[in-house]
Amino acid sequence: MSFSSLALDDCLIQAINELSYQAPTPIQESTIPVILAGKDVMAGAQTGTGKTAAFALPILHLLMQQVTQKEVRALVLVPTRELAQQVYKSFNQYGKYSGLNMALAYGGVSINPQIEQIRTGIDILVATPGRLFDHLIKGTLTLDKLQVLVFDEADRMLDMGFKDEISNIMKRVPDKRQTLLFSATFDDVIFKLSKKLLKDPELIEVDQRNTAAERVEQIVYTVDGDRKRELVSHLIGARNWHQVLIFVRTRQGADLLVREMSKDGIKAQAIHGDRSQGAREKALTEFKAGKVRALVATDVAARGLDIVDLQYVINYDLPYICGIS
């Protein structure tokens, strides 16, 4: 199957061709026609499967078919600033010839430039829940004309405690809308949430539920808690690992691990919610460039980091999973 066979607008096909996309991935092939048909969707998609294009392309196509004032007609909610930037970039790449305006809203930076961008008139907004709620409270935007609502990485948004923000946002969106929920994992919590958000959704899963990526080898090391840092430093040093992404549970734990690894001679940086956006972007840039050997991150980076050929990921702490009532 080709992208042209999916009945997408010619200007979207032109942008896709310029990006050298050859053919739709399974999640794109399964999801795009359903979204174009106007149905709600609950889709399971792992990172790296092309899920952003799976919802961005049909949203762009649908909005292009209408002539309207510049108002927020599509909203994409994501859990982290890094993922927001990545999704926003994708919308701009796919929609470069669409004539549609996009905006980005996330915390950790001044809200004023975001307000100015929104005031110019936008069709699509990519936002984190907390900053979106800030805009709604300030009255700098409304969602009265919203047609499509996307929850991207819904499982991570719940893990990060955005339940209250999501509930408050849902009170401000029209009942008549199309809702799309994408999640890397499906569990009882996600299905419970979907019943509140979606209307008769199409369930799309292109892989066996909650499986790891096929090309990922998973290894468990049993070690005393007070010797985990020693083991991690040994593995990185003895095996000459570079570009190692390490996940920890807390911000304090991230900073402590960076300090201790530095004493072991391993250059590391931390990214978490207490660091400014500029500091986070600088740490990520240096990590991608190979100037930093290990990047220690909290959930802030669990989704949305685009690092080509990343070979080593360490879960230093077991992930914390929370529920929803």
Tell me whether residue 211 is in a domain: no
Q: Which domain holds residue 146?
A: 4-205
Which CATH number belongs to the domain containing residue 293 in this structure? 3.40.50.300
* 28 and 174 in a common domain: yes
- Assess contact for 222 and 95: CB atoms under 8 A: no
Tell me whether residue 40 is in a domain: yes
Structure confidence at residue 138 (pLDDT): 93
Structure confidence at residue 325 (pLDDT): 38
* 158 and 73 in a common domain: yes
Structure confidence at residue 324 (pLDDT): 40
Angle at 216 between CA 260 and CA 240, to 5 degrees: 40
Structure confidence at residue 194 (pLDDT): 85
Q: Where are the alpha helices (DSSP H) in 180-322?
A: 188-197, 228-238, 251-263, 277-288
Q: How many domains does the chain have?
A: 2
The pairing of beta strand 202-205 with beta strand 244-247: unpaired
Structure confidence at residue 306 (pLDDT): 67
* 61 and 194 in a common domain: yes
Nearest residue to 294 (alpha-carbon basis) of 320, 259, 319, 318:
259
* 249 and 141 in a common domain: no
Cα 2 to Cα 24: distance, rounded to the nearest angstrom: 6
Structure confidence at residue 284 (pLDDT): 87
Tell me whether residue 213 is in a domain: no
* 253 and 118 in a common domain: no
Low-confidence residues of the chain, pLDDT below 50?
Answer: 210, 322-325
Relative orientation angle of helices 10-18 and 81-94, to the nearest 10 degrees: 110
DSSP label at residue 208: S
Tell me whether residue 59 is in a domain: yes
Cα 86 to Cα 188: distance, rounded to the nearest angstrom: 28
Q: Which residues contact 179 (CB under 8 A, 6 or more apart)?
A: 40, 41, 148, 149, 150, 151, 197, 198, 199, 201
Nearest residue to 11 (alpha-carbon basis) of 150, 3, 25, 120:
3
* 197 and 247 in a common domain: no
Tell me whether residue 43 is in a domain: yes
Structure confidence at residue 68 (pLDDT): 79
* 200 and 258 in a common domain: no
* 255 and 164 in a common domain: no
pTM of the predicted model as reported, rounded to 2 decimal places? 0.74
* 130 and 269 in a common domain: no
Q: Which residues contact 290 (CB under 8 A, 6 or more apart)?
A: 242, 243
- Phi then psi for residue 82, to 5 deg, are -65, -45
Cα 174 to Cα 126: distance, rounded to the nearest angstrom: 18
* 267 and 188 in a common domain: no
Structure confidence at residue 323 (pLDDT): 44
Using DSSP's 3-state secondary structure scheme, residue 183 falls into strand
* 291 and 262 in a common domain: yes
* 9 and 58 in a common domain: yes
Tell me whether residue 70 is in a domain: yes
Question: Which of 205, 233, 256 marks a domain boundary?
Answer: 205
